Structure 1
């Protein structure tokens, strides 16, 4: 369906693509992978007609092609679904699907009955169970994504590109998305699937193409490459080098924060966990196990109705995040953009956000000191940006995450909780975040890492606590931590 040969694209001071070959076949799901900066987004925009290539050729549906713009590519059947949805929340599902292509009667007026009927038929055709009369603002994120896909399907879609489609969904919602993508593939649509989640690549895709530093690395049938080999192609190093070298045997540090019999209504039941200085503890479990809720209760951001928290052996009342910060406890949230970063502000403002009184003297804010602290964080955490004044909104996901970690590293003298710390970042950025976690542990900080990625849990944790349905089902120590052992505890039903 699509064949690119020798594609090159440059911008002032940057060579984004250099001699890239790529093809997508009808009735195939083709993964496009690579670290941030590998060229995936630029290549997508070339395919979609947003950018004209500086060199190379595009063949689409057997014909040499030069797109005049995104509208031209769309008319020929190329559709892209980006991470950020383009929907009108106050309009109905049917109105969103047909916006710009409204169904009209003989008088030229919008025929709402026909619009709803056509939307219903389209949704049913692909097994999407959504009422076309529903307001988009009332839908789950997963269903909003289905509306985006349906918008593309009103056209004669030949090539569908999805950019990180599971960044905002999880669990059963991912399974439903995959089922619908397979239906499209079986109907003859060519699908390009872009994701950092390698387990999804192996579960869904038929082939994979790897880009690195704007260049083509390899294209393989998915059955001909292992996870370790794919990582090596993406980053130029083996999986064993992804995680920091484990420190030698040592006596565990003192317990700095301990939770006993924590209850959060409907979410956590009688959960206990002890966190030791200088130790990385993994908190594992399936989606909905109560991991994030336990962390939020420890941080004072979620009200608990039972249990106690001890800091350095003394009972404390952590009734708010402010109190947690005063006690040297920090939390890197799962939702980087929604809860972690002030997206309209720069690096300096985000790094200083948890310690604003430190920069205030006699009612005046010391921006110079703030910039100095941000410069130190940029160097220490290897944050790729132009300086303290760089808006975080223009930075890659991995560097945004390092900004958040840098903020909390300044205040987290006892415990730093990281909830899905590498979600949505590339493999290279993961390695950097793992290094930072290990360095903080080496300073004596207790680390609690919540992760849904089993290789991450096994590769980084010195101890693993596992939850299921709000209950702690077990704990694994050195020599016991394997993916199989974690899964067994995560699926174990507790008596009573």
Structure 2
């Protein structure tokens, strides 16, 4: 690998924002035809470094060299023109447009100055898809695609720029094991073409399957770069957090009590594959929901929250019927939902941290039609302190926080509504190992307070490490409910395939 020439070299890059030193003399070298993993806790500076590379931010000092030549990009277009592309964790796509329109947006091939050459668009799209073994209809609207297909589409788009450097930010965060295997095949094809790939991931196990080298960042600084063959997960975690993290999961202190919620024969109007789902949840219990991609896990919790219309079924809370016909009803009835897609239906990126914390509890701050600003301030300070939210101030825009801190804000938002039932859809998606531990602690502490928690997760170790019971979905059916202490990954996967 050392014989592979350096394709990209970042030297002593620094970047500061008001009150924050985001990057401090960071170095990074990516070799041709290799995968270079970049890891670190949320807020370590990984995204800021990539934004400096991509021309979104301008570094305060330092240089970037591409194939030995010094470069500097004023904007992302210049980076793309030089063959540097980025597949973002939060996909920025126009859902109502077709795949080919998204793929060639801003650079449509033209027959003449007034007419787009659609035949060439289709032909080139099919060629790229075939080369990367991607099976997507180029003419379908993006909003019709699954998250995994949209992810593959973005990788194809990056490849279409004849990319030399491709940055992949959490590319497997929404993918099943089968889809991850496909992604890795695509990455290996790109590597054979001579691309240098910067692979950002919090799933440390997977980088050992795909990476050649790993660089660790912490608090805006470069800490170490090592061949992947010379480190293990323990080494990487120690470098990331600056201390040994002996246990990946906190001690279970919650003790389930009496039945809190009963769900009977739930079927959904617009999700006909969700049929006859029944289960119970005890106070102080953490119920995991497992299943493969397309098993309808998310649809179940959205049905409970009134986001999807029920065709049949009842929800009882402490023995009384809950008429959760809408999210507003559900909030009044003591339900809270932490959604899978923070960006699309969780955070309000343009609003402040303060507004994001308080927005679901505004009725609680009104007195005679006037907002009680003192109570708002006290609640916001309490959430920031209790959940250890790293933010320059309560007025900082939500979009400027790391993913882990955004997730903590969302937890804080719902805690202020004092829910009885907390529905969590992939609560640690895109969050680093240190922040995950804090989220796990929070979930267990909430259960210990007597709340009922329903948690969807695609990470099997997470389900086995945090929950008390696991409900396994398969093609819209409940394939089984198992006690966490008495099950294993093999049993859960067998149940997940039961109705396929």
Match of 2:70 in 1: 65
C-alpha RMSD of the superposition: 3.3
Does the CA contact (< 8 Å) of 2:336 and 2:422 recur in 1? yes
Match of 1:330 in 2: 336
1:304 Cα deviation (Å)? Answer: 2.7
SS at match of 1:350: helix
Does the CA contact (< 8 Å) of 2:477 and 2:499 recur in 1? no
Matched, 1:343 2:355: no
- From 461, 478, 481, give the equivalent of 1:472: 478
Match of 2:468 in 1: 462
CA distance in 2, matches of 1:398, 1:416: 18
Does the CA contact (< 8 Å) of 1:17 and 1:39 recur in 2? yes
CA distance in 2, matches of 1:285, 1:179: 23
1:91 Cα deviation (Å)? Answer: 6.5
Does the CA contact (< 8 Å) of 1:465 and 1:474 recur in 2? yes
In structure 2, the CA distance between the partners of 1:436 and 1:91, relative to structure 1 (3 Å rule), is closer
SS at match of 2:485: coil
Does the CA contact (< 8 Å) of 1:421 and 1:449 recur in 2? yes
SS at match of 1:479: helix
CA distance in 2, matches of 1:18, 1:426: 20
Aligned positions of 1:14-163 closer than 5 A: 14-48=20-54, 58-61=64-67, 63-67=68-72, 69-70=74-75, 73-83=79-89, 97=103, 103=109, 111-114=117-120, 116-130=122-136, 142-163=148-169
Matched, 1:263 2:267: yes
> Any idea what the Cα deviations from partners look like across 1:301-341, whole Å, max 9, x if unmatched?
32333333222234444333333323322221222222223
Aligned positions of 1:88-487 closer than 5 A: 97=103, 103=109, 111-114=117-120, 116-130=122-136, 142-167=148-173, 173-238=179-244, 240-247=246-253, 252-264=256-268, 266-477=272-483, 479-487=485-493
TM-score w.r.t. the length of structure 2 is 0.85
CA distance in 1, matches of 2:440, 2:178: 28
Does the CA contact (< 8 Å) of 1:463 and 1:478 recur in 2? yes
Unaligned runs of 5+ in 2: 1-5
The structure having more radius of gyration, on CA atoms, is 1
> Any idea what the Cα deviations from partners look like across 1:267-313, whole Å, max 9, x if unmatched?
33332222112222222222222322222232233233333322223
SS at match of 1:319: coil
1:90 Cα deviation (Å)? Answer: 7.0
Match of 2:3 in 1: none
1:9 Cα deviation (Å)? Answer: 0.5
- From 4, 11, 14, give the equivalent of 1:9: 14
Unaligned runs of 5+ in 1: none
> Any idea what the Cα deviations from partners look like across 1:368-407, whole Å, max 9, x if unmatched?
4323322222222222224443332222221221122112
CA distance in 1, matches of 2:162, 2:189: 15
Does the CA contact (< 8 Å) of 1:243 and 1:459 recur in 2? yes
SS at match of 1:293: helix
Does the CA contact (< 8 Å) of 2:22 and 2:48 recur in 1? yes
CA distance in 1, matches of 2:393, 2:445: 23
1:74 Cα deviation (Å)? Answer: 4.2
Does the CA contact (< 8 Å) of 1:6 and 1:18 recur in 2? no
CA distance in 2, matches of 1:493, 1:141: 22
CA distance in 2, matches of 1:288, 1:135: 19
Does the CA contact (< 8 Å) of 1:375 and 1:387 recur in 2? no
> Any idea what the Cα deviations from partners look like across 1:136-178, whole Å, max 9, x if unmatched?
6666555555554444444443222222334565565544433
SS at match of 1:268: coil
1:180 Cα deviation (Å)? Answer: 2.2
CA distance in 2, matches of 1:14, 1:483: 43
In structure 2, the CA distance between the partners of 1:305 and 1:134, relative to structure 1 (3 Å rule), is closer
> Any idea what the Cα deviations from partners look like across 1:83-119, whole Å, max 9, x if unmatched?
4556666766556555665545689976554455444
In structure 2, the CA distance between the partners of 1:368 and 1:14, relative to structure 1 (3 Å rule), is closer
Does the CA contact (< 8 Å) of 2:460 and 2:489 recur in 1? yes
**Which has the larger displacement, 45-54 or 409-418?**
45-54
CA distance in 2, matches of 1:117, 1:309: 51
1:258 Cα deviation (Å)? Answer: 1.5
TM-score w.r.t. the length of structure 1 is 0.86
1:363 Cα deviation (Å)? Answer: 2.7
Does the CA contact (< 8 Å) of 2:88 and 2:169 recur in 1? yes
Does the CA contact (< 8 Å) of 1:416 and 1:445 recur in 2? yes
